[in-house]
Amino acid sequence: MVEMPPCRFYGCAVVHQYRHRNCRLGGVGQGADRSRSRCVGTAAGEACGTERTGTDNHTPMGDLGKELHAICTKYDIRGIADATFTERHARALGNGFAAWCTKSDRLGAGHIVVGRDCRVSGERLSEAFIEGVLDQGCDVVDIGLASTDMLYAASGQSHAPGAMLTASHNPAQYNGIKLTGPGAVPLSREYGISEIIAAADAPPTTQRGRRRTESWLERFVELVLSSVDTGKLQGKVVAVDAANGMGALIAPAVLDAAGIKHRILYGELDGTFPNHPANPLEAENLRDLQAYVVGEQAWAGIAFDGDADRAFLVDGRGVGVSGSTTTALVAEGILRRAPGERVLYNLICSRAVRETIEACGGTPIRTPVGHSIIKRIMAETGAVFGGEHSAHYYFRDFWRADSGIIAALHALTIVATCESDLATMRGRYEPYVASGEINHKVADPAATLAHVEHVAAGITTDLLDGVSLDAGKWWGNVRRSNTEPFVRANIEAADAGSLAEGIADVNAMVLAKR
């Protein structure tokens, strides 16, 4: 007799010979009637009488599929822990991910790497996800607490699929999953995640997978420091705002190994993020680091988001540095060592990024917004580096994955190599003034963009991602959000007056169709 897992439809505590019929999460067996409120037994004749207790054990796959699709964004899974994203959802996704990897021959090294950030819900959801993977007979390498770029490193170096339990920069009550194929290849709703959801009710295999734990911090530090020569940074004092997220794990380890002096702000792992949200893209969340840099007389500062795959720089005067400026800095540093290489930048980056790449002898390639698109274009073009204004930075030699700590070290290294400081050197990459992101909530984003394209036909340059405009005195882009009913505008100009004119013109176009 082959023992099967406990029934997850009724939540029975006993192990039956066969799984209950129609128990979509537990697999297909015999002897149960979904319309009944109690377990009525199996083909072998036993019945435990367990009552159904709550939706976690008996929601039909049709409803489960809808729930999973509801928390599927364009690039990952994201929901409110224990509400829209529960242990049941995590286990089903682990089950579907392992089934998809096995069926599509994407198991790579033969196991799946799983990591998590420090959110309160992370350990429970990670355990549930791992159980789902094991149900499919797949082995798991559990790397425990990790930054997302550490997970990418583990996936890349071992050529294994990976899953990172994180909600990135979202508030503490959220959690989610970022999924990769072998070699840190990104998955998205269009590639992989929809099929994974469809496979979430795959019946468990008779042979469960095995689980082992591995520590990846030391190997990650070695990989980071092998990708950038930090010798010029030794002796510099760098302040770090870890925001109680995973930067508190990786930043001290990397900076200590590099011989860089550091001061850590909010360096305790605490998934409630008690000091401020782990989202340095919002200006108010940089204020503590800005004051800390000035107070500690630090040479520069680095702020991380919750899973530490994004890093934001602050100069020695306490002024934040944009993702565009950081992209230009990293590009110059890399192109000094590898002239002629291709470098990607997304279409909301400053015009100065393209000009910097060209001035340094590189070939600039403009891309739409979005990490899976950029990674695909990197693979197609062989680009050495790619940067986004949102502070995602991708490196060919890091499996085309993004890493905040690698980008920060590259950017600060070129500053130190030039025997300058960030507050002084940034000026060469910031000849223009910018609006920042302007968000408009609209009833129909597609109709709004079509209207902008129509009324701005004379100044439209392309439709690569939304509508890109160039009016001579100002230029910019209007595009739709991937996740919300918004259109987002980014405008740039040579002077403040022209910028104000551009903002007014674009706002009028958008609001006319609001």
For residue 415, report the phi and psi dihedrals to the nearest 5 degrees: -65, -45
pLDDT (tens digit per residue) in 263-314? 999 999 999 999 999 999 899 999 999 999 999 999 999 999 999 999 999 9
Nearest to 435 by CA among 507, 336, 382, 364: 507
Helix (H) or strand (E) holding 4: none
Can you give the pLDDT at residue 6?
41
Q: Do residues 15 and 4 make contact, with C-beta atoms less than 8 angstroms apart?
A: yes
3-state secondary structure of 354: helix
Q: Do residues 490 and 434 make contact, with C-beta atoms less than 8 angstroms apart?
A: yes
Which single residue is written with the structure tokens 């984003």?
445
Our answer to whether residue 158 is catalytic in this structure is: no
The active-site residue out of 126, 168, 390, 468 is 168
Domains of the chain: 1-58 (no CATH), 59-215 (3.40.120.10), 227-431 (3.40.120.10), 433-511 (3.30.310.50)
| Helices 323-337, 351-359: crossing angle, 10 deg rounding | 10
The C-alpha angle 275, 281, 282, rounded to 5 degrees, equals 60
What is the arithmetic mean of pLDDT over 101-108? 84
Mean of the per-residue pLDDT values of the chain? 88
At residue 136, what is the residue type?
A: Q
Which single residue is written with the structure tokens 């096995």?
102
pLDDT (tens digit per residue) in 205-239? 999 999 999 999 999 999 999 999 999 999 999 99
What does the DSSP 8-state code read for residue 340? T
If you write DSSP's letter for every residue of 138-192 in order, what string do you get?
-EEEEEEE--HHHHHHHHHHHT--EEEE--TTS-TTEEEEEEEEGGGEE-BTTTB
What does the DSSP 8-state code read for residue 85? B
Strand partners, 267: none
* Inter-CA distances, 508 with 107, 207, 411, 445, 511, Å: 51, 62, 38, 15, 5
What does the DSSP 8-state code read for residue 74? S
Max CA separation in the chain (angstroms): 82
The C-alpha atoms of residue 25 and residue 9 are separated, in whole angstroms, by 7
* Percent with pLDDT over 90 in the chain: 81
Tell me the whole-structure pTM to 2 decimals.
0.86
Q: Do residues 113 and 160 make contact, with C-beta atoms less than 8 angstroms apart?
A: yes
At residue 511, what is the residue type?
A: L
pLDDT at 144 over 50: yes
